[in-house]
Structure 1
Amino acid sequence: MAKFLEYQGKEWLAKAGIPVPKGRSASSPEEAQQAAEWIGKSVAVKGQVQAGGRGKAGIVKLVETPSEASAAAAEILVKTVKGLPVRQVLIEEKLAIKKEYYCSFVINNARDARCPMLMFSSEGGMDIESVPEELIFKMNIDPIFGLQIYDAIDFCVRAGIPNKELSKFASFLTKLSQVYKKYDCQTLEINPFVMTEDGSLICADCKMEIDNSSVGRHPEFGIKIARDLPGEVTELDMIGWSIEETDARGTGFLMNMGYDEVSPGYIGYHPIGGGSAMMGLDALNQVGLKPANYADTSGNPVGSKIYRVAKSVLSQPNIDGYLLGGFMMANQEQWHHANAIVKVLWEELPKKPGLPCVLLLCGNREDESMEILRKGLAELMTSDGIGKRIEIYGKEHVTDTKFIGQRLLALAKEYRAEKDAQGK
Structure 2
Amino acid sequence: MDLFEHQARELFERYGVLVPRAEVAGSAPAARAAAERLGGRVVVKAQVKTGGRGKAGGVKLAADPAAAELTARQILGMDIKGHTVHQVMVAEPVEVEREFYVGYTLDRARGRFLAIASAEGGMEIEEVAARRPEAVARIAVDPEEGVTEAKAAEIAAAGGLPAEAAATLHRLWTVLTEQDALLVEVNPLVVTRGGAIVALDGKVTLDDNADFRRTYAYEDTGGAGLEAEAAAKGLNYVKLDGEVGVIGNGAGLVMSTLDVVAGCGARPADFLDIGGGASAEVMADGLSVVLGDPHVRSVLVNVFGGITACDAVAEGIVRALDTVTLTKPLVVRLDGNSAARGRAILTERAHPLVHQVDTMDGAAARAAELAAVAA
TM over 0.5: yes
Residues 306-339 of structure 1 show CA distances to partners (whole Å, capped at 9, x for unaligned) of 4542353577899xx999754x4x4x3445x646
- Matching residue within 196, 199, 202 for 2:195: 199
Match of residue 68 from structure 1: 67
In structure 1, distance between residues paired with 2:363 and 2:117: 52
Distance 1:13 1:398, change over 3 A: same
Alignment of 1:150-299 (within 5 A): 150-159=150-159, 166=163, 168-218=164-214, 220-222=216-218, 232-233=225-226, 236-240=229-233, 242=234, 253=236, 271-273=248-250, 275=253, 295-297=272-274
Name the SS of the counterpart of 2:216 in structure 1.
helix
Match of residue 95 from structure 1: 94
* Contact 1:105/1:188, CA 8 A, preserved across alignment: yes
- Matching residue within 99, 111, 114 for 1:114: 111
The offset of 1:278, in angstroms, is 6.6
Which amino acid in structure 2 is aligned with residue 122 of structure 1?
A
* Contact 2:118/2:160, CA 8 A, preserved across alignment: no
In structure 1, distance between residues paired with 2:195 and 2:258: 57
* Contact 2:176/2:184, CA 8 A, preserved across alignment: yes
Which amino acid in structure 2 is aligned with residue 310 of structure 1?
M
Distance 1:345 1:147, change over 3 A: same
Which amino acid in structure 1 is aligned with residue 206 of structure 2?
I
Match of residue 136 from structure 1: 136
Which one has a bigger Cα radius of gyration? Answer: 1
The offset of 1:178, in angstroms, is 0.9
The offset of 1:402, in angstroms, is 6.3
The offset of 1:118, in angstroms, is 1.7
- Structure 1, gaps ≥5 residues long: 225-230, 244-252, 261-265, 382-386, 407-424
What is the CA RMSD across the aligned residues, in angstroms? 5.0
The offset of 1:157, in angstroms, is 4.4
In structure 1, distance between residues paired with 2:103 and 2:227: 30
In structure 2, distance between residues paired with 1:404 and 1:62: 43
Distance 1:403 1:325, change over 3 A: closer
Given the two structures, how large is their TM-score scaled by the length of structure 1? 0.63
Distance 1:15 1:122, change over 3 A: same
Match of residue 370 from structure 2: none
* Contact 1:271/1:277, CA 8 A, preserved across alignment: no
Structure having greater relative contact order (Cα 8 Å, sep ≥ 6): 2
Residues 6-46 of structure 1 show CA distances to partners (whole Å, capped at 9, x for unaligned) of 11210111122222111111122201111111112532222
Identity %: 25
Name the SS of the counterpart of 2:226 in structure 1.
coil
Match of residue 283 from structure 2: 310
Aligned residues between the structures: 352
In structure 1, distance between residues paired with 2:350 and 2:59: 54
* Contact 1:101/1:124, CA 8 A, preserved across alignment: yes
The offset of 1:135, in angstroms, is 3.6
Which amino acid in structure 2 is aligned with residue 27 of structure 1?
G
Distance 1:307 1:23, change over 3 A: same
In structure 2, distance between residues paired with 1:9 and 1:138: 23
- Structure 2, gaps ≥5 residues long: 293-297, 367-375
Residues 244-292 of structure 1 show CA distances to partners (whole Å, capped at 9, x for unaligned) of xxxxxxxxx56778999xxxxx99x864455489779989xx9x9x999
* Contact 1:255/1:295, CA 8 A, preserved across alignment: yes
* Contact 1:254/1:309, CA 8 A, preserved across alignment: no
Given the two structures, how large is their TM-score scaled by the length of structure 2? 0.70
In structure 2, distance between residues paired with 1:280 and 1:170: 38
